[in-house]
Structure 1
Amino acid sequence: MGVYQNAIEYFKRVADSRYVAAGLTSNVDLLVRWDTGVIQKWVDQYATGPRNISNVESMTDLVDMLLFRLPEGGTECFICEEVARTIESSLKMASYGVGGTGAQAACALGSFGVRSLVHLTSFGPQFADLLNYPSLSVYSNGKALPVRQFLRENPERYAPHFILQFHKGAALKFQDQSYTAPVANKIILSWDVINSELPLDHGYFEYAKKNHATALLISGVSGIQQEENLDAKLKEIARLLEGFSQETMVYCECGPFFLKDGYGKYFKELGGKSDIIACSDEELFEINGVSHSSFGGNPYMLMDLLDKFFHTYHPRRGVVIHSRDVSMYYGNPLPEGRDVKSALAMGNMVASAKARYSDYGTREMVFSIADQPDSTVGLQRTKTLEKGGIIAVPTKPVEHPACTIGLGDSFTAGFLSCV
């Protein structure tokens, strides 16, 4: 029996015993239709020329950033209220989605029937349908509530993240020059004064502890925009992690940080209080100050960076890395009854199901991924990585994905459903 069939059988045995506390942030994602006519009018009115900007404070900043980013690729920017309102009133919304690793992971877990408790920070009425799973509960005032009851009892907290997706060949013109996208990509534009402060409900941590969560997901800190706020929030989270028993696997994950040296501060403060620290392969390179372009598929470089990451931040158990071709675990053995190889395979399947079906997969949808071919690059890389003591599982890549949003969050959900 192969690693993927093993993972499916293992999941079936343990799924009913798993209870994942998924935090720490949430928001409404608004998928925005690219409209060249509207955006070109903005360029004509406001542009001064292409600029690489992460903090968009005016319409001029927005269009200059778009001129720079179309040829260069996607990014995430913070925007002001003026820009947010202009986008809302001028561009059509294609659909709504759930944002935030914790909230997205809880949705994925709900879709394939694993119990979860989610810590919501920003939310709107769209969540009534988007988070409506029988196995998903929202923490509120000492209780775990169905999402619709939670929304009835709590006023809306609006902090939209606009996801502006552009197709290959999308183009804008400025001063007789054309700026064209070589591949399809997305730009995330966040007007978020809530998650930039990251409000934490201390009762959520106590509830997870008291009700024996099998895993506690820590994520969403990367959007904090003030250095002193980041330092204080990390110390607050570190205190809240005290007192969890060994039955709760603390999983500390991150995305791209707004602040310089955010990765270092984050893992230095929380790494030793976590069982597992996790990121993507691209983030691993950035954390170690190495250009991803220098990688060239060299698995020995990957092994060196994993070892450095592990020994710099000292998680109690180990490090998880997810990438397009292979997922990896490096570190100490997990406790008996927690199968890390099956967890990696399950993470791969849940991520690929999201890519293939453009939705969080049911168990049948997730399990169907096992029949797809392994990544050829991942198979080759796995052999070398395993010789270096790394547990590795080649992914099941989707050749023509229907969705590229939330794949890392879906991987996290799959992994935590098995550990």
Structure 2
Amino acid sequence: MELLNQFKNFSNVSIFLAYNVNVDALKYLADSSDIEKLKENFSDSDIGLKIEEYPRTIEKPIDFVARLIHAMKSGKPAEVPLKNNLEIEPFFNGLNYNEERIGGQVGIISNLLSILNLKRIIFYSPILAKKQAEMFENNENLVFPNLIDGKLVLKKPIESFKNDELKINRIFEYKEDIEFHLQNEKIITPRSNRFIVASRPENLRIEIEKGLKNHLPDIGRLVDCAIISGVQAIKEEYSDGKTAEYYLNRVKEDIKLLKKENKDLKVHFEFASIQNTEMRKKIAESILPEVDCVGMDETEIANIIHVLGYEELSEGILKYSRIEDVLKASKILLERYNLEGMQVHTLYYIMYLCKKGGILSDKSLEKTLEFATILASTKAALGQISNVGDLKIGLEIPHNKHGQLLKELVEKISKEKELEDYRIILVPSRIVENPKSTVGLGDTISAGAFVGYVSELKKLKNK
């Protein structure tokens, strides 16, 4: 309880978030009959061939079924973009979803931070339809930047929506130990996880509108930190001839403008699954040099390392998940992009790698990660966090059984010569046996750890 008391009130922190908000339509796959129903219009041999083909966009129903089964076999989270057409939309619209709620990294994190009593949360999304706006917490601390008569005006989301196209992601949550067959192969899901079909509306452009962009230095003065996410929605090319480079440059400009009149502003970049390998590399090379810290899971770090030329290291992480390989990859990114910190979240631990020095103690950093595990376990157990009191649920969930071994392993690795100039902080995760939901757990972990870090920095500086 002492830890919760320390972090339950972040009223000393203000934050800016951009760029992705959508509606999540969730379908829960509870047993083999749910899988068989999705498979029934295709032959097993056709599905098997499509799995081997490994489509990187969902254009036909069979693309979806193949990538879903591929994800369920591995038990790892996956997100694949949707390519809208006349065949795929009726298929997805015809499925019965269990619930709809706010989605997108910015949507999920904004609502969470509003409940955690931050002083001010300013979020921005290039498209904000009425349905999205209605799903935000109706709290005074959660606002959207509006341009009225050339002036910056912060208003609640429900007072800020426009006549925009609604962005819906379809999310398929599956349980551990679902057993089904594909041809002669018996598949048993190794753990609970989710598969996301991410919509990419043509009019979704990852940039801040021109009038508001001029006010980014003003917004930067109002906040202590920022979380940038959603760049996975950037396409290689658009119908009007604009390219990925154009929008990546807009994001870089936005970060620089935010920092223009607030040099102490900390910027965190939350990575996400990016199917297109060229885009993955472009995003890493464009955005990572501009930010202070990065959050990603082990699959995302393996994918980034792969496009940077470390194929063997990448394959080792994907196959064996060895902590020493994850650390090696984190160190490469930290050095290459001059980052203040790398935060990696996996099923069994949350880890922070940074250079020695800094004003926060190891104990203080460990507390921020511990708080993040409580947030994640609460969200997994309940599906969503409604108030600070819910966190008692997460606190009661024990750390996973590998926790002590992981800590001992990190202690041993940290003594190796190549890591002697680094600090490695690891906290074992609290694993919920039958999670209500796995969507947004990484975002929840990253947001909790980052805001905890900024809050602790502010407390020390104000002493």
Bin of the TM-score, shorter chain as denominator length = 0.7 to 0.9
Q: Secondary structure at the match of 2:205?
A: coil
Residues 298 and 317 in structure 2, CA contact (< 8 A), matched pair in contact too: no
Alignment of structure 1 residues 9-408 onto 2, 5 Å: 9-12=5-8, 15-32=10-27, 39-43=38-42, 50-51=49-50, 52-66=54-68, 71=73, 75-79=78-82, 80-114=84-118, 115-134=120-139, 135-141=141-147, 142-151=152-161, 154-167=162-175, 168-169=177-178, 171=180, 180=187, 182-183=189-190, 184-194=192-202, 197-201=205-209, 203=212, 205-211=216-222, 213-226=223-236, 229-243=243-257, 244=259, 245-289=262-306, 290-292=314-316, 296=320, 298-315=322-339, 317-332=340-355, 333-334=357-358, 339-386=364-411, 388=414, 389-408=423-442
- Range moving further from structure 2, 240-249 or 335-344: 335-344
CA contact (8 A) 1:31 1:94 kept: yes
- Maintained 8 Å contact 2:78/2:273: no
C-alpha distance in 2 between matches for 1:306 and 1:33: 34
Once the two structures are TM-superposed, the CA of residue 112 in structure 1 deviates from its matched residue by: 2.6
Report the residue type matching 2:125 in the other structure. Answer: L
Q: Distance in 1 between matches of 2:178 and 2:360?
A: 52
One-letter identity of the residue aligned with 2:270: E
| CA distance 1:262–1:342, shift in 2 (3 Å) | farther
Query: Does the aligned pair in 2 maintain the 1:40–1:172 contact within 8 Å?
Result: no
Q: Is the 8 A contact 2:24 2:102 kept in 1?
A: yes
Give how far 1:221 is off.
0.7
State the Cα distance separating 1:172 from its structure 2 match: 7.4
State how far apart, in whole Å, the 1-side matches of 2:203 and 2:372 are.
26
Q: 1:267 to 1:68 in 2, by over 3 A?
A: closer
User: Match of 1:345, SS?
Assistant: helix
Equivalent pair of 1:226/1:259 in contact (CA under 8 Å): no
Does the 8 Å contact 2:302/2:318 carry over to 1? no
1:43-95 Cα offsets, whole Å, 9 max, x none, are 26996754121212234544554565554556322232324531354211211
Instruction: Provide closer, same or farther for how the CA distance between residues 345 and 165 of structure 1 changes in structure 2, counting only shifts above 3 A.
Output: closer
Output the CA distance in 2 between the equivalents of 1:394 and 1:75.
23
Q: Distance in 1 between matches of 2:450 and 2:230?
A: 17
Any idea what SS the aligned residue of 1:217 has?
A: strand
For structure 2, the residue ranges without an aligned partner over 5 or more in a row are 307-313, 415-422, 455-463
2:293 maps to amino acid: I
- SS in structure 2 of the partner of residue 291 of structure 1: helix
Distance in 1 of aligned mates of 2:373 and 2:47: 43
Cα distance in 2 for partners of 1:350, 1:236 equals: 32
1:411 equivalent in structure 2: 445
Q: CA deviation at 1:189?
A: 1.7
Displacement of 1:405: 0.9
Secondary structure of 1:288's match?
Answer: helix
Query: In 1, are the aligned partners of 2:130 and 2:163 still within 8 Å (CA)?
Result: no
How far is the alpha carbon of 1:40 from its aligned partner? 4.3
In structure 2, C-alpha distance between the alignment counterparts of 1:194 and 1:416, rounded to whole Å: 32
CA-atom RMSD, angstroms?
3.2
Task: Name the CA distance, whole Å, in 1 between partners of 2:327 and 2:93.
Answer: 49
CA contact (8 A) 2:298 2:321 kept: no
Which segment is superposed worse, 242-251 or 295-304?
A: 295-304
Provide the rounded CA distance (Å) in 2 between the counterparts of 1:48 and 1:270.
37
> Do the aligned partners of residues 303 and 64 (structure 1) sit closer, same or farther apart at CA in structure 2, a change above 3 Å counting?
closer
Task: Compare 38-47 and 294-303 and name the one that shifted more.
Answer: 38-47
Stretch of structure 1 that moved more, 291-300 or 19-28:
291-300
Match of 2:309 in 1: none
Q: 1:335 to 1:189 in 2, by over 3 A?
A: same
Task: Give TM-score, length-normalised by structure 2.
Answer: 0.77
Q: How far did residue 242 of structure 1 move?
A: 1.7
Question: What is the CA-CA distance between 1:260 and the residue it aligns to?
Answer: 0.8
Q: Distance in 1 between matches of 2:186 and 2:86?
A: 25
- Opposite residue 335 of structure 2, the aligned amino acid is H
| Superposed displacement of residue 277, structure 1 | 1.9
For 1:72 and 1:329, how far apart are their aligned partners in 2? 25
